[in-house]
Amino acid sequence: MVVSHLHSNISASWRTDALIKISSVLTDVHGASGRAMLEALIAGQRDPKILAELARGRARARRVELEAACSGRFTDHHARLARLLLDQIDQLGKHIDTVTTLLDEAIAALPAPVPDPTGGSTADAGTPGPSTVDTGPAGYACAVERLCQIPGAGPDSVRAVIGEIGLDMSVFGTARRLCSWAKVCPRTVESGHKKGRARTGKGNRYLKAALGQMAVGAAKTDTFLSERYRRLVKRMPKAKARAALARSILVIIFQLLDDPTAEFADLGTDFYTRRIDKDRRAQPAHPSAAGPRLHRRPHSCRLTAATPRPPSIDRGRLAMFPLAGDFPVRSPPACRDRVALVGM
């Protein structure tokens, strides 16, 4: 997967020289639509309309943009370079499939875990303890299948995550400890009475790379995680929102691995709107929050001095703005009911 992305970046050089901007329209140039267009270009097809018609699935809705992206100066020299790079990517993909098969066979040959005679279950309340999680071949295959149900997760990214954190979550105890170990939560920096936030830290780069890939995929779906990303990106940069989404995915992974019987269930894109209490919002605000109030006082009352200011206020700065309490005030002999303005 990493090798494929590397060659994707390398092949971008000749696509730029040939003015072929398929990557600006399609997310994955080496997907079904992108690969079909590249193969047609190598075969000698230069008509942008015919190339745009090769789009499949959801990419067909962007055929007009694809037609503009395929309008370039693709030559036979570019075709030879593209053929070499595509053949190299296919060969590396075969090697990756061979290694994956060998890993699956090695995992299947592992002996079954010996049950703990003392019993026990996964730790609760943050205290590590004995676990009954099946760490054998059957447990591994079941964990991969259940984690692939998470939006944005695939077999490769799930295997990468399991390879870094394992199947036994009693080692971490809680999801917060796992997130802290993986460095996917912001650090708190304190200097005296000042508190701030810093970067998440380095952590395990392989784990963070897999979580980041899952976060990018989940943000493009129509699920609870995508709705969470859209809410976060309104008040923070995209990179920070993806980091927060990666932390949410790691918490889900912990819960699924901690309980082998748990299954992933999406909360839906309307999760936040369903939790809004419409009756509470319809109620009028508290009288104190509606602004100043008017109270009538009887004629016989006297205007009292203002409340003394607290000692924390610098009276020197406000010396040119005296308050009513600084001067004696007398009530007029004859006046109507006064209206005193009471602040919030």
Indicate if the pLDDT at residue 343 is higher than 70.
no
Q: φ, ψ for residue 68 (rounded to 5)?
A: -70, -35
pLDDT the model gives residue 210 = 92
pLDDT of residue 321: 44
pLDDT of 255:
92
CA dist 51 and 67 (Å) reads 7
What single-letter amino acid sits at 116? Answer: D
Of 225-229, 271-275, 288-292, which gets the smallest average pLDDT? 288-292
pLDDT in tens, 244-259: 999 999 999 999 998 8
Reported pTM? 0.62
3 state SS of 189: strand
Contact 65, 25 (CB under 8 A): yes
- Which of 132, 137, 83 shows the shortest CA–CA distance to 106? 137
Q: How many CB atoms lie within 10 A of CB 112?
A: 11
Query: Which residue, among 212, 297, 289, 206, has the nearest Cα to 247 in the 3D structure?
Result: 212
E-strand ranges in 147-281 read 188-191, 194-197
Q: How confident is the model over 310-322, as a mean pLDDT?
A: 47
Is the Cβ–Cβ distance between 128 and 173 less than 8 Å?
yes
Q: Quickly state the pLDDT bin for 124 (edges 50, 70, 90).
A: very low
Tokens of 190: 């304190």
C-alpha span between 218 and 298 (Å, rounded) = 67
